[in-house]
Amino acid sequence: MRPFTSRMVRVLAAGGALALAVTACGGQSGSDTQSGGGAGKAPLVFGTTDAFGTVDPSGSYDNPGWEILYNSAQTLLSIPPGGTTPKPDAAEKCEFTDPKTYTCTLKKNLKFSDGSPLTSKDVKFTFDRMLKIADPNGPSSIFADQLASTEAKDPQTAVFHLKFPDATWPFRLTTAAASIVPDEKYPADKLQPMGNDKIIGSGPYKVTKYDPSQQIVLEPNDQYKGDKKLSNSKVLIQVYKDEKSLKSAVESGEVQVAYRTLTPTLLKDLEDNGAAKKVKVVKGAGTGIQYLAFNNKKGPFAKKEVRQAAASLLDRQSIASQVYNNTVTPLYTMVPKGLPGHEDKFKSAFGDKPDQAKAKSLLQKAGVTTPVNVQLWYSPDHYGEASADMFAEIKRQLEAGGLFKVSLKSASWEQYKKDYAAGAYNGWQLGWYPDFPDTDNYLSPFYAKNNFIGAGYGYSNPQMDKLLTQEKSTSDQQKRQQAFSQIQTIATEDVPLIPLWQDNMIAAVRDGVTGVKDTFDPLYTFRFWLVDASKAK
């Protein structure tokens, strides 16, 4: 894998830089290029323990759902494997015609998997419905602050009118949240019901079966016009209830790739003993993170000093070594190592070892009675069985000096999402995979007033919002870096959440399978079309 430094993005921003056009190269417009799946190629059987929910772009905001969308839908722009800058996908070209107007010309003769034409009317519908639905667990926060309106200027031209100049706008259009859906097949004011007959996109695959608890099937989309060449005849995603079953499946050859989630203990066993069963562990540098979110409005963590005290008691290195066998790295800011602006602000403010005296002083000065009774929640079906071990370790750390009394609770992912958004939890586990490769994507989603976590999180700070707007609106990289530093300082003072660790991308793969490492980059997009299982052992 490329080192993290190759992922750094020089964002093209306001003023003259915003005039950059993103244009398809000659011969790459895809107007007559088919996906190429079928005869002579083998199916790919992919195993996971992921909990799949909706794959409606207006409601899906987790990695499992986005994985389906990235492979079965198109966006106007996309980030190619190993790339860092947007390239045309459904668009022939996109450009800023002024600092607050972004115009995209669609490729000709695009069609959805059901054969219906894809036009700018569908683009406008896609963005209008997302902002109208504004699903509390959905991705509308990626666009809500920036987008004033979307215009279908003519059948081939879509125009985005922005509220302010935004250096990150082209990157936002590469996210799965921007997957284009047909206006005549999706409801305008509610999410599409789940089911393979309801999933309609224009990407290289089409969804022919969607049973999120057992199996999802992707087959070549014969309507696709683009440059993604399929290396397999179809993809069968097998869903397993637990990590041990997933490990057994890849060892027996029942699946050819096992990805998300295998516990650190199981991964170590495969590294040590997998060769005898024709299995190898493939790793890549990642920028996925996990953190502890708090209810900042009500309950024990509504007091800033209680959140600061908790931050003073956490030992991330113990979590990394004792729970994850050092397959993750302690994280002291929401910005992962390797991205511009990363500063270990939490380490500077609270140290890297538990500080009982500091925590006690914070609580005493705030007049908080100890022990502070808190409930912490986690979701093992979404974040893996190691979540229980991690929260047991967090409980041990918080309770060690008698300042906290922790009750641990867990819930299935679908219920979990609803509950934390409704404000039912004191503190809870969340993870994050990047929407696009820019530092802002690790700041705005969590610290902006219209953040993705929702009302149950309840964090806002006007000074934070001002700084976030500034860093997105300037082409001056020095000014962006200064804003990033100030944002992280405020985040350390307010402690609306606590960053915990940064991960790696890891999969267990049968011998003979190729292309897996090519899909590993910090975007966390598993590009099924790159993986060839025809020579799997």
Per-residue tokens: 393? 């370790």
Number of Cβ atoms within 10 Å of the Cβ of 460: 15
- Name the token pair of 280: 């190898």
Q: For 123-134, how does the pLDDT look when each residue is reduced to its tens digit (9 = 90+)? A: 999 999 999 999
The pLDDT of residue 433? 85
What is the Cα gyration radius of the chain?
23
d(CA 175, CA 58): 12
Whose structure tokens read 């695959």? 205
Query: Quick one: pLDDT at residue 480?
Result: 92
At 76, phi and psi to the nearest 5?
A: -60, -40
Confidence at residue 428, expressed as pLDDT on a 0 to 100 scale: 99
Look at residue 272 and give its three-state secondary structure.
Answer: helix
- Return all residues near 245 (Cβ < 8 A) that are at least 6 apart: none
Angstrom distance (rounded) from CA 24 to CA 432: 31
- The pLDDT, as a whole number, for residue 195 is 82
Please give the pLDDT value at position 1.
24
| Residues recorded for the chain | 537
- In this prediction, what percent of the chain has a pLDDT beyond 70? 93
Residue pair 495/304 in contact (Cβ under 8 Å)? The answer is: yes
Cβ-Cβ contacts under 8 Å for 158 (sequence gap 6 or more): 76, 103, 104, 106, 120, 123, 124, 150, 151, 152
In angstroms, rounded to a whole number, what is the distance separating the alpha carbons of residues 218 and 236?
7
Q: What is the distance between the alpha carbons of residues 28 and 92, in angstroms, rounded to a whole number?
A: 9
Q: Are 313 and 319 in contact (CB under 8 A)?
A: no
Q: Strand order of the sheet with strand 101-106?
A: 21-23, 91-98, 101-106, 157-162, 147-154
Q: For residue 12, what pLDDT is reported? A: 26
Q: How far apart are CA 515 and CA 117, in angstroms?
A: 32
The span from the CA of 464 to the CA of 6, in Å, is 29
pLDDT of residue 24: 60
| N-term to C-term CA, the chain | 24
Nearest CA to 408 out of 433, 425, 431 is that of: 425
Q: Supply the pTM of this predicted model.
A: 0.76
- Ordered structural domains, the chain, with CATH: 54-211 (3.40.190.10), 285-503 (3.10.105.10)
Q: Given this model, what pLDDT does residue 18 score?
A: 40
* Residue ranges of the chain whose pLDDT lies below 70: 1-40
Burial class (CB in 10 A: 0-12, 13-18, 19+), 15: middle
Residues 6 or more apart whose Cβ sits within 8 Å of residue 279: 250, 251, 270, 508, 509, 510, 511
DSSP string, 84-99: -S-EESSEEEEEEEET
Give me the pLDDT at residue 523, please.
77
What is the pLDDT at residue 8? 24
Q: Which of 393, 446, 392, 387 is nearest to 411 (CA)?
A: 387
Residue 86 near residue 178 (C-beta atoms within 8 A): no
The string over 261-292, giving b where at least 16 C-beta atoms fall within 10 Å of a residue's C-beta and e elsewhere, is bbbbbbbeebeeebeebebbbbebbbbbbbbb
* Residue 319, SS3 per DSSP: helix
- For 216, phi and psi rounded to 5 degrees? -125, 135
